[in-house]
Structure 1
Amino acid sequence: MRYVVLLLALVLTACSAAPRPAAYPEAAPLPEMRVFPAARPAAPVRANGDLARDFLELSFWLEDGRPLPVFTRFEGPVTLAVAGPAPDIALRDLAILIERLRSEARIDITTTTDLAAANIVVEFLPGRMLATYAPETACFVVPRVGSWTEFRQNRRSGLLDWTTLERRETLSVFIPYDTNPQEIRDCLHEEIAQALGPLNDLYRLSDTIFNDDNFHSVLTGFDMLILRAYYAPELRSGMSRDEVAARLPAILRRINPAGERRGPAADPGETPRDWLGAINVALNPVRRPDRLEAAHYAVGRAQELGWTDSRLALSYFALGRAAAPDSSTLAAAAFLRAGLVWRDLPDAQVHVAHIDMQMAAFALVAGQPQNTVALTDRAMEPAYQAQNAALLASLLMLRATALDDLGRGTEAQADRLDSLGWARYGFGSDEEVRARLAEIASLGRTAGDRAR
Structure 2
Amino acid sequence: MRLLSLIAVLGLSACMPAQQAQVSKSYSETSAPGIGLPAMQGFAAASSMSPMRPNAEIARDFLDLEFRMESGRALPNFSRFEGPITVKLTGDVPATASAEMARLINRFRSEAGLPISFAQPGDSASITIEFQPRAQMAKVVPMAACFVVPRVQSWAEYKAERNGPKVDWTTMTKREHVSIFAPSDASPQETRDCLNEETAQAMGPLNDLYHLPDSVFNDDNFNSVLTGFDMLILRLHYAPALRNGMNEAEAAKHLPALLAQMNPRGGAGVSEIKTIAPRSWVAAVEGAFGPRGGTAARLRAADMMLSIALAQGWHDGRLAFSYYAKGRAMANTDPAQAVAALSEAGRIYRSMPGAQVHVAHVDMQLAAIALAAGQSDQAMAFADRAIPAAKRAENASLLATLMLIKAEALQNAGRVAEARGLRLDSLGWARYGFGSERQMRARMAEIANLGAQGGRG
Q: Secondary structure at the match of 2:68?
A: coil
1:6 Cα deviation after fit: 4.2
Q: Which structure 2 segments of 5+ residues have no match?
A: none
Separation of aligned partners in 2, 1:22 and 1:199: 47
Q: Does 1:103 align with 2:110?
A: yes
Counterparts of residues 178-327 of structure 1 (less than 5 Å): 178-260=185-267, 262-287=268-293, 290-327=297-334
Choose the corresponding residue for 1:365, options 352, 368, 372: 372
Alpha-carbon offset, residue 64 of structure 1: 0.6
Match of 1:14 in 2: 15
Length-normalised TM-score, structure 2: 0.95
Once the two structures are TM-superposed, the CA of residue 191 in structure 1 deviates from its matched residue by: 0.5
* Rounded Cα–Cα distance in structure 2 between residues aligned with 1:5 and 1:331: 21
Aligned counterparts, 1:28-47, within 5 A: 28-47=35-54
- Residues 1:126 and 2:127 aligned together: no
Match for residue 426 of structure 1?
433
Query: Match of 2:2?
Result: 2
User: Which AA in structure 2 matches 1:121?
Assistant: T
Contact kept? 2:209, 2:276, Cα under 8 Å: no
**TM-score normalised over the length of structure 1:** 0.96
3-state DSSP of counterpart to 1:311: helix
Query: Cα 1:448–1:46, aligned 2, differ >3 Å: closer, same or farther?
Result: closer
**What is the deviation of 1:267?**
2.9
1:45-94 CA distance string (max 9 Å, x none)? 01111111110110000001111001111111101111112122111111
Q: In the superposition, relative to structure 1, how do residues 244 and 446 fare at CA in structure 2: closer, same or farther (>3 Å)?
A: closer
Cα displacement (A) at 1:446: 9.2
Once residues 257 and 449 of structure 1 are traced to their aligned partners in structure 2, the CA distance between those partners, rounded to angstroms, is 56
SS in 2 for 1:443: helix
Task: Give the 3-state SS of the residue equivalent to 1:442 in structure 2.
Answer: helix
User: Residue 173 of structure 1 aligns to a residue in which SS?
Assistant: strand
C-alpha distance 116-147 of structure 1, shift in aligned 2 (>3 A)? farther
Q: Distance in 2 between matches of 1:350 and 1:224?
A: 18
Aligned counterpart, 1:166: 173
What is the deviation of 1:200? 0.5
**Alignment length, in residue pairs?**
449
- Residues 383-394 of structure 1 correspond to what in structure 2 (within 5 A)? 383-394=390-401
SS of equivalent to 1:174:
strand
Shift of 1:325: 4.9
Share of identical aligned residues, percent? Answer: 49
| C-alpha displacement of 1:447 | 10
Structure 1 gap ranges (5+) = none
Once residues 21 and 69 of structure 2 are traced to their aligned partners in structure 1, the CA distance between those partners, rounded to angstroms, is: 49
Q: What are the superposed Cα offsets for residues 92-129 of structure 1, whole Å, 9 maximum, x if unpaired? A: 11110010001001000010144652110000111111
| Contact 1:82–1:113 (8 Å) recurs in 2 | no
Match of 1:355 in 2: 362
Alignment of 1:407-426 (within 5 A): 407-426=414-433
Across the aligned residues of Structure 1 and Structure 2, the Cα RMSD in angstroms comes to 1.7
Classify 1:294/1:449 alpha carbon distance in 2 versus 1 (closer, same or farther; 3 Å). Answer: closer
